Amino acid sequence: MSTALNPFPEHPRKISLYPNPAHDQLFLDPDPQVVYPLSWDMFDLRGIPVGQGDLIHQADAIDIGLLGLADGMYFVRFQSGFSPAILHSTIVVD
C-alpha cells in the first residue's frame, strides 16, 4: 500500500510513501514535478518529533530509517518548495 499526497491541489503532483505499514524503512518517492527543497517531519501520536529531513535536489526513492521507533502510528508532515502548503500523511510501523 502506498500513500499519495497532492502538494498543491491545483496540480496533480504527489509524494508516495511505501510500504505502509512499514518495519525498518519507509521509502519516499516524490513525483518529478514536486518543487524542491522538500522537507519532512515525523511525529508520534503525542505530537513528539521522532525524525526529520530535507531533500534539496530531486532523487529517486529516498529511504527513511525507522529502526528504534516503537510499533504504532506516526504522522508525517511535508512542505514542498517555499510554499506555505503543508501536507500530512499517516504511517504505521510494525
The domain limits of the chain are 3-93
3-93 architecture in CATH?
Answer: Sandwich (2.60)
Asked if pLDDT for residue 25 goes beyond 90, the answer is yes
What average pLDDT does the segment 27-42 reach? 82
Residue 45 burial by Cβ neighbours in a 10 Å radius (0-12, 13-18, 19+): exposed
Asked if pLDDT for residue 88 goes beyond 50, the answer is yes
Asked if pLDDT for residue 11 goes beyond 70, the answer is no
pLDDT bucket at 2, cuts 50 / 70 / 90: very low
In whole angstroms, give the CA distance from residue 72 to residue 23.
Answer: 10
pLDDT bucket at 59, cuts 50 / 70 / 90: low
In whole angstroms, give the CA distance from residue 94 to residue 92.
Answer: 6
Q: Which cell goes with 1?
A: 500500500
Asked if pLDDT for residue 7 goes beyond 50, the answer is no
